Amino acid sequence: MPPQPLKTSPVRELRPALQKQIDRVCRDCSQCMRCVAECRFLKSHGDPKQIAESYAPDDNLFLGLPFECSLCGLCAAVCPEKLDPVPMLLEMRRETHDRGEGDYPEHKGLRAYERKGTSKRFTWYALPEGCDTVFFPGCALPGTRPETTLKVF
């Protein structure tokens, strides 16, 4: 009896929107490291091009990685190439969800918020067109001292 061919699991293609974002980041990121110097997430995981080139949706590392980014857009604000990696990370989140992963207990509050209809799933708000300065006070300062926040602004 001839040997049976090895059975391999089917390789699932990436969502087209994600593949487009990965290709864009790989093509346009010059790896100047300005975003890495400013962003704690990128300091931990590498520049956008490194993340895009190494992305493997079936790797456990990439199940949680896109959820660690806050999608704040600071990386895009400091990028001399005007590259915005946030859409790529958002698509990585969607890919994780489409594969039936990413249902983390830590997201329980956010999912409850979304169920109330106040926010669409994975919504993000980009910087305004032409914005060149970002004031990012976080949550604690404006939540506890709004007058001070306005003075600093």
What pLDDT, in 10s, does the model give residues 48-98? 999 999 999 988 888 889 989 999 999 999 999 999 999 999 999 999 988
Angle of the 61-68 helix axis to the 86-98 helix axis, nearest 10: 130
- Asked if the structure places residue 146 within a domain, the reply is no
The mean per-residue pLDDT over the stretch 132-152 comes to 84
Asked if residue 11 is part of any domain, the answer here is: no
Please give the backbone phi and psi of residue 113, each rounded to the nearest 5 degrees, phi first.
-60, -45
The per-residue pLDDT for 139 is 78
Q: CA 50, 80, 135: angle at the middle one, nearest 5?
A: 100
pLDDT band at 108 (very low <50, low <70, confident <90, very high): confident
pTM, whole model, 2 decimals?
Answer: 0.66
Q: What is the CATH number of the domain that holds 69?
A: 1.10.1060
Domains held by the chain: number = 1
| 101 vs 45, residue with greater confidence | 45
Residue 71, domain member (yes or no) = yes
Q: What is the pLDDT of residue 85?
A: 97
Domain range for residue 47? 16-127
In a domain, 56, yes or no: yes
